[in-house]
Chain A
Amino acid sequence: MKKIYLIIFFVSLIKVRAQNVQSAVKFNLGIGMEYRLTPLKDVFEMPSSYINFEANLSGVPAKFWLAYHFKPNWYAGFKYCVRYDHTGIDNSALTGDYQVINSSFSLISDYVLYLQKLFPLAKDNKLSVKLGYAWMNQGVNTSIFENNRFHIYHYNFSALNIEVDYHYKFFFLGTGIYYNPAENHTNYSGQMQLLYLTMGFNVLKF
């Protein structure tokens, strides 16, 4: 009988410790992918055709994030997306008329700061909503020589980011949008609405 009490005591201790570990989780590190679809209408327009924003913005970035658990079911996080994608055209490769050439490609980054609210559904299932602010297209810069001088064009912009995810254990699947409502920018004009699907893993909690 004493042994049984002893076992119950140890099991309780383990459970208490497990709960403490759960509540002690402060940071969440994850990796995933985004599948960006063709931007919706009103995509940016360029004064000259040296960049195709449809090609530039629709792509498949890899991402990782670090989130801070500051309150039950609330996280504040930073997400970093990186893709190797179309940046424009390097027309120095042109040697004459009637030619087909591919785009210039480079590594393009997006930074997102976000707040996330979790809604537990069942033991292993959760819904979450993320609201963030994104600094997009970091690394897309082009120099164009026209009218006897060089012009530097930066194609980075900021956007609001909303994402809804379904979580099952350490995996999640979701959908979201990047939205830029502004009409006038330094080097281009128009709005931007970019829908995407996403999935990923929470790989480390500590």
Chain B
Amino acid sequence: MMKKYLLFIILLSLYQIQAQTKNDWKIKLKIGNELRIPVLNYVEDNSLQSNHNGLLSFNINRDLKAFLNGFPIHYAVEFKIYKTWSFEFQHSIHYDHVAYKEAVQNVAGQKTVSSGLNQFFSDYKFSFFKYFIIDERQQFNLNLGYSFNGLGSYYWVYQHHYLTTTSNHYTSFHLESNYQYKFMSLGLGIYVLDQPDFNVFTGSIKAEDFSNYLIYFNLDFDILKF
């Protein structure tokens, strides 16, 4: 009887050690998606001026709301720096609107219908995390970081027999909070667009014409810890 009892204690201790070590990760891999939702004050019909090398001036028809909102999927790798602090790199992939096909909406006074130009583009997101452990299964985290968005969203503009490329690159700060239960986390965050580097939207657009922030929901799954 005593032997069985001892065996039980040993097995229980082993299980507890294993449970502790499971939480003792150094690198974590995650997959998930974001839902970027509309906020007020977006410009729906924005014919913007963009200068290219000071040579030409185009009126490019873009829809900021369609471009900035969306449903990107992502994967991420997170490194524990110290106890409840970590650093994450995330790569998001979109297939979304970048511009309308007509550079100007009205040619010679006629109404034109222009379909959207959609393509793949990426975001690189760098974040610092602070965890607040609630219990073995639940935790809460806050993260803060900087993102490079709209990477790869290049397109060509043809006007007066000249071809040139432009893109919808922009950068942003973000703040996000997540509640994590076991391997799943749900979060809410905000992107604050970094105006000086928001290169394509400088021009005729005025700061008061659109909101320079984006609200998003986040869903993540931890797929591997080691």
Contacts and interface: CB of A to CB of B under 8 A. Distances in A.
Contact of A168 (B27, B161, B165): B27
B90 to A, nearest CB: 11
A100 B155 contact: yes
B26 A101 contact: no
Contacts of B165: 49, 52, 54-55, 103
A100 B60 contact: yes
Interface string A9-34: 00000000000000000000000010
Contacts of B181: none
Interface stretch (B117-125, B188-196, B204-212): B117-125
Interface string A57-88: 01110000000000000000000000011100
A89 B91 contact: no
A99 B26 contact: no
Interface residues of B, number: 37
B61 interface: yes
Contacts of B35: none
Contacts of A91: 158, 163
A55 B158 contact: no
Contacts of A54: 154, 165
Contact of B101 (A100, A168, A170): A100
Given A60-B122, A169-B226, A173-B77, A103 B27 contact: no
A157 interface: no
B203 interface: no
B99 interface: yes
A20 to B, nearest CB: 25
B155 A102 contact: yes
B73 interface: no
Interface of A: 33, 35, 49-50, 52, 54-55, 58-60, 84-86, 89, 91, 94, 97-103, 168-171, 173, 197, 199
27 contacts: A35-B91, A49-B165, A52-B165, A55-B167, A59-B152, A60-B91, A60-B122, A60-B152, A94-B158, A97-B159, A98-B59, A98-B107, A98-B159, A99-B101, A99-B103, A99-B158, A100-B100, A100-B101, A100-B102, A100-B103, A100-B155, A101-B156, A102-B119, A102-B155, A103-B165, A168-B26, A173-B77
Interface of B: 26-27, 59-61, 77, 79, 89, 91, 98-104, 107, 117, 119-120, 122, 124, 151-152, 154-161, 163-165, 167, 226
